[in-house]
């Protein structure tokens, strides 16, 4: 895909969450560790999977779907749906933690591990971060070290079923150790960059990294 998706327009949700950032809503001031505390501070458990988006849920057919990988890599690639599914498929189980304070344990994912994608494109020594872009224009940034986490997955299935449109299907990123806004839905572009730069929510008062155990909900600026 060569056209640049348009960044989402401001909305009531954006204004509300920007207000939460300014107020420090939900912050407890506690710090915990993932090796000793399964539930990060300020979170509560849910059994369902809440739906959060920017007001758009793009309908993406398998014929239309593309994943464009570019930037500071030795081998830029564009994958269609068939070639993406031909990559090694893996199943993992992980928890997810949303910045709006809900967490859900033991989610079963199937898809392509991020590390298998990295083996295809070979980030250069200068690569430090990635910028993720979705079909709806949403963007979010990750340090390369977070993107390359052992359990990070480009997921096509959840609990044995294809991921639904409302949850980011046909493919979304899942980075379990960060707040879930970093796990872009409807992912269509991965750009490897030499410098970390803010995406959509990061420009609207949210933390550049988003570690739930450090309660990195909002920007320090």
The tens digit of pLDDT for each residue in 95-147 reads 999 999 999 999 999 999 999 999 999 999 999 999 999 999 999 999 999 99
Q: Residue 112 is part of which domain span? A: 41-48+60-214
Whole-Å CA distances, 78 to 110, 115, 170, 190: 21, 17, 16, 10
Res. 36 pLDDT band, cuts 50 70 90? confident
pLDDT value at position 10?
A: 58
Lowest mean pLDDT segment, chosen from 21-25, 93-97, 172-176: 21-25
Helices (H) and strands (E) in the chain, counts: 4, 11
Please report whether residue 87 resides in a domain. Answer: yes
Q: Which residues of 37-54 are buried (b: 16+ CB within 10 A; e: fewer)?
A: eebbbbbeeeeeeeeebb
Contact 137, 7 (CB under 8 A): yes
Contact 42, 25 (CB under 8 A): no
pLDDT value at position 31?
A: 72
Please report whether residue 9 resides in a domain. Answer: no
In angstroms, the first-to-last Cα distance of the chain is: 34
What is the count of structural domains for the chain?
A: 1
- C-alpha to C-alpha distance for 197 and 131, rounded to whole angstroms: 8
pTM of the predicted protein model: 0.87
Please report whether residue 143 resides in a domain. Answer: yes
pLDDT value at position 109?
A: 98
Please report whether residue 30 resides in a domain. Answer: no
Please report whether residue 200 resides in a domain. Answer: yes
Please report whether residue 19 resides in a domain. Answer: no
Whole-Å CA distances, 207 to 133, 150, 161, 198: 18, 22, 32, 9
Which CATH number does the domain housing residue 205 bear?
3.90.420.10
pLDDT(54) > 70: no
Report the candidate in 41, 118, 117 with the shortest Cα–Cα distance to residue 83.
Answer: 117
Please report whether residue 108 resides in a domain. Answer: yes
Res. 150 pLDDT band, cuts 50 70 90? very high
Please report whether residue 54 resides in a domain. Answer: no
């Amino acid at each position: 895909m060569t056209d640049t998706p348009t960044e989402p327009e401001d909305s009531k949700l954006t204004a509300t969450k920007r207000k939460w950032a300014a107020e420090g809503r939900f912050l407890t001031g506690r710090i915990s560790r993932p090796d000793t505390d399964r539930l990060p501070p300020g979170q509560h458990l849910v059994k369902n999977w809440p739906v959060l988006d920017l007001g758009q849920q793009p309908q993406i057919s398998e014929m239309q779907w593309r994943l464009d990988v570019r930037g500071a890599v030795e081998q830029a690639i564009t994958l269609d749906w068939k070639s993406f599914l031909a990559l090694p498929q893996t199943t993992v189980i992980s928890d997810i933690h949303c910045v709006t304070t809900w967490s859900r344990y033991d989610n079963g994912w199937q898809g392509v591990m991020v590390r298998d994608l990295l083996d295809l494109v070979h980030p250069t020594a200068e690569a430090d971060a990635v910028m993720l872009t979705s079909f709806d224009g949403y963007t979010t940034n990750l340090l390369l070290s977070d993107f390359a986490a052992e359990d990070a997955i480009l997921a096509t299935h959840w609990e044995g079923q294809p991921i639904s449109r409302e949850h980011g299907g046909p493919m979304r990123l899942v980075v379990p150790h960060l707040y879930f806004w970093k796990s872009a839905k409807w992912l269509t572009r991965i750009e490897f960059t030499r410098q970390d730069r803010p995406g959509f929510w990061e420009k609207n008062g949210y933390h550049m990294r988003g570690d739930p155990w450090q309660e990195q909900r909002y920007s320090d600026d």
